[in-house]
Amino acid sequence: MSVDASISCQEVVELLSAYLDGELDPTTLERVEAHLAGCDGCTMVLEEFRETIRLSGGLTVEQVDETQRRTLLEAFRDWRAGS
Amino acid sequence: MMLVDELGPSMRRVARMYVSSDAVTDEVVQEAWLGVVKGLDGFEGRASLRTWIFRILVNTAKTRGQRESRSVPFAALAGDDLDQPTFDPTAFGAPGDPNAGAWSTLPFDWRGMPEERAEGTETLHVIGGAIAMLPPMQAEVIRLRDVLGWSSDEVCNALDLTETNQRVLLHRARTKVRGALEEHFRSVSEA
């Protein structure tokens, strides 16, 4: 399955996150791209990484606890009153 | 108050990493916000506002943690498996094998999942659950990067991480979330 002997599937999957974030140095980037061009397994995992990131972006941002919000507002008020 | 809503939950979790209790965490978050309000005039905009707020928070929490004589080893926050491979080594040909390092067992292919299934609330529960299981620093990095969409520079600054550490933590976190999705989609496709 591995086309480019200079980098293995096992090595490529460890680089996919950096690859997607554009953080690979040019030499490594070239190797990873050459490998991906000939490897269906790594291409699949790459696409699943991309999908994982996209789906994670759909998580709702959690809400701030109402009590904490109120305590914080009071702290601001006290600070203003005191200054 | 929009920033309080946007940053509040992350700030609490980050502060909690460095101090001993929820009560102290609340005090640290409050102290940090007061520091933000007092320091706002001096904010020069070299970093983004949210990054700057996190720096104040992390410094406040670390100082407080030190005062409590609480020293938290990096591995306790980041996970103690950082030098291990993220993917199961048995999925690849063993060293010395003619196929060393190449796939021997491919992961389940879940790319063709129907959209309504892939994007349903169940999927979000799986992702949320997988993130909640991560070591705290991995969880926070993936939340800030992939859920809230911060840049890697911002996350390094906000959480006081080196670029390398940030990258390693994010990759581990994404790999585990991808793995949880794989498990989930495999089980629903077999059901």
Q: Which of B1, B12, B177 sits opposite A52 (nearest CB)?
A: B177
Burial of B22 (0-12, 13-18, 19+ CB in 10 A): exposed
- ipTM reported for the complex, 2 dp: 0.89
Give residue-wise pLDDT tens across range B71-102: 888 888 999 888 888 899 999 999 998 899 99
Give residue-wise pLDDT tens across range A56-76: 998 876 666 777 777 777 777
The residues spanned by each domain of chain A are: 9-82
Burial of B127 (0-12, 13-18, 19+ CB in 10 A): buried
Which CATH number is A9-82's, of 1.10.8, 1.10.10, 3.40.390, 1.10.150?
Answer: 1.10.10
**Domain housing B19:** 2-67
What CATH number should be reported for the domain holding residue B15?
1.10.1740.10
Mean pLDDT score across all residues of chain A: 86
Distance from CA of B44 to the nearest CA of A (A): 22
What CATH number should be reported for the domain holding residue B96?
1.10.10.10
Chains A, B: CB contacts within 8 A come to: 130
**pLDDT score, position A83:** 54
Distance from CA of B69 to the nearest CA of A (A): 26
Give the other-Cβ count within 10 Å of A72's Cβ.
20
In chain A, residues with a C-beta closer than 8 Å to the C-beta of B151 are none
Mean pLDDT of each 10-residue bin along chain B, 191 residues long: 82 94 94 90 82 94 91 88 88 92 94 82 93 96 94 94 95 96 91 75
For residues A40 and A1, is the Cβ–Cβ distance under 8 A? yes
Q: Which of B4, B86, B128 sits opposite A72 (nearest CB)?
A: B4
B112 and B150 share one domain: yes
Burial of A77 (0-12, 13-18, 19+ CB in 10 A): exposed
How far apart CA B31 and CA A34 sit, in angstroms, is: 52
The pLDDT-based confidence of A30 (bands split at 50, 70, 90) is very high
B130 and B176 share one domain: yes
In chain A, residues with a C-beta closer than 8 Å to the C-beta of B92 are 8-10
In chain B, residues with a C-beta closer than 8 Å to the C-beta of A82 are none
B149 and B93 share one domain: yes
